[in-house]
Amino acid sequence: FACLATVSNAQEAIYDESLIPEFTLPDPFTTTSGEVVENADQWINQRRGEILDLFASEVYGSAPPAPEEVRSELISYHANALGGKAIREEVDLLLGDEESPLVARLLIYRLQTDEKVPAFLALNFGGNHSIHPDPEITLNKNWMRNKPASGYENHQATEASRGASASRWPVEKIVERGYALVTIYYGDFDPDFDDGFENGLHGEYPGSGESISPKDWGSIAAWAWGLSRALDYLEQSPSIDGERVAVLGHSRLGKTSLWAGASDPRFALVISNNSGCGGAALSRRRFGESVRRINTSFPHWFCDNFLKYNDNEDELPVDQHLLIAAIAPRPVYIASAEEDRWADPHGEFLSALHADPVYRLLGTDGFGGDAAPEEMPEINQPINSGTIGYHIRSGKHDVTDYDWDQYLDFADRHLKSTDE
């Protein structure tokens, strides 16, 4: 333990299981006041809300209430996109100020059909135009983090960034499988840098007033809130089934999809791809990225109260298994990658495992179906028969076709069952 006490941002991260201190996870079934949760009603009406409040006040920060009306504008419509296979639309969501609203642009690909289709909703890192080389997607002009991929200069996307992230977005396959793909550039909601709550949704909805309170929402909460606003729009869409929307995200956007899915029960299915610290990985393990490391590198992601837990994870009133549990009984899929040790694959698996008892209390088949797995699965051997799915694939921190194949199969099972 002495070694841990000296871990600071400048020092090496822990990559050795034997250096993880012993810890006790907060019990899903014991309330803050020490009451024992004995049945599903008590979980849903008491403990679940308490857990969400704790994540809001201690980890991600509290978001404003949903706006009363959904304001949107159709920007473009193309009936024969993807070589005639799909409809492509761009829709602007208008948020906040009436006169000069914040604009977040949805890019939608869907099959030409009269039936409402289920959808995957996911934020993207490089602008909507980065997900597919389709030249008619509007090039996003907002501030971008400079990406390792070519096509981004001085925090601006250039024409050369069209399709830059296409390997992460098998658009044709998603549409052919009968799903709409709805994506939004995450920086439309909140630019990903520490600007002291000035811009993006923070500027539009200035939390608790003149000074920033330790509970005010960080960027992850802002991005998650943006996803809920996109869902407001999808619920009113004549072509997409708002009751069958899966929310998906990679890495910091995987943390975001988990918080969106936990805090907004309208999301029918939740997918975390390599979300790591502050996402699916247990904070108490301190493996790879620790709470101190993430708060130091990305001080704007979480609320200021989260700083209290730098090198002090055992004091957290929650851990990330409770974030997964707060999604129950809705299906959730957690994916890790073998070489993505920074995100602590084992810690991501353990969150799923420790959420399993809640899923079972709520009457689902939990993690692994008949019985929860005793150990992590082998590489590329998904556990996907239950309501919690998990895999660790070979390779690095990324979203690959392999990941999507698992998500599509999992979504088929949960969003397309014939007995609905």
Contacts with ligand GCU by CB under 6 A: the residue count is: 8
Indicate the helix (H) or strand (E) that contains 411.
helix 401-415
- Cβ proximity to ligand GCU, 58 vs 344, nearer residue: 344
Separation of first and last alpha carbons in the chain? 52
What angle in degrees, to the nearest 10, is found between the helix axes of 48-55 and 252-263?
140
- Cβ proximity to ligand GCU, 392 vs 415, nearer residue: 392
Q: By CB under 6 A, which span of 51-59, 129-137, 289-297, 376-384 interacts with ligand GCU?
A: 289-297
Restricted to residues 295-354, the positions that interact with ligand GCU (CB under 6 A) are: 297, 342
- As a whole number of angstroms, the distance between CA 76 and CA 90 comes to 5
Closest CB 279 distance from ligand GCU, rounded Å: 7
b (16+ CB within 10 A) / e for 358-374: bbbbbebebbbeeebbe
Q: Which of 277, 318, 325, 399 binds ligand GCU (CB under 6 A)?
A: 277
Closest CB 97 distance from ligand GCU, rounded Å: 29
Does position 123 bind ligand GCU by CB under 6 A?
no
Annotated active-site residue 397? The verdict is yes
Classify residue 398 by burial, with Cβ atoms within 10 Å: 0-12, 13-18, 19+: middle
Beta bridge partners of 250: 273
Among candidate residues 219, 228, 239, 251, the one labeled active-site is 251
DSSP 181-238: EEEEEHHHHS-SS--TT-SHHHHHS-TTSSS--TTB--HHHHHHHHHHHHHHHHHH-S
- Cβ proximity to ligand GCU, 277 vs 372, nearer residue: 277
Does position 276 bind ligand GCU by CB under 6 A?
yes
- Cβ proximity to ligand GCU, 336 vs 364, nearer residue: 336
- As a whole number of angstroms, the distance between CA 91 and CA 111 comes to 17
- Cβ proximity to ligand GCU, 48 vs 252, nearer residue: 252
- As a whole number of angstroms, the distance between CA 81 and CA 78 comes to 6
Q: Which of 48, 132, 252, 391 binds ligand GCU (CB under 6 A)?
A: 252
Which amino acid, residue 256? Answer: T
Among candidate residues 62, 78, 213, 397, the one labeled active-site is 397
Does position 249 bind ligand GCU by CB under 6 A?
no
The CA distances from residue 406 to 156, 233, 355, in Å, are 33, 27, 20
Does position 129 bind ligand GCU by CB under 6 A?
no
The tokens of 342 are what?
């920074």
Q: Which of 58, 90, 289, 340 binds ligand GCU (CB under 6 A)?
A: 289
Q: Tokens 């012993």 belong to which residue?
A: 22
Strand ranges (DSSP E) for 268-395?
Answer: 269-273, 332-337, 388-393
Closest CB 130 distance from ligand GCU, rounded Å: 15
In the stretch 351-380, what mask flags binding to ligand GCU with x, by CB under 6 A?
------------------------------
Write down the H helix ranges in 79-144: 81-84
Could you say which DSSP state residue 150 is in? S
Q: Which of 124, 128, 251, 305 binds ligand GCU (CB under 6 A)?
A: 251
- Cβ proximity to ligand GCU, 130 vs 387, nearer residue: 130
Does position 102 bind ligand GCU by CB under 6 A?
no
- Cβ proximity to ligand GCU, 11 vs 45, nearer residue: 11
Closest CB 125 distance from ligand GCU, rounded Å: 8
Residues that are catalytic = 251, 397
User: Rule CB under 6 A: which residues touch ligand GCU?
Assistant: 251-252, 276-277, 289, 294, 297, 342
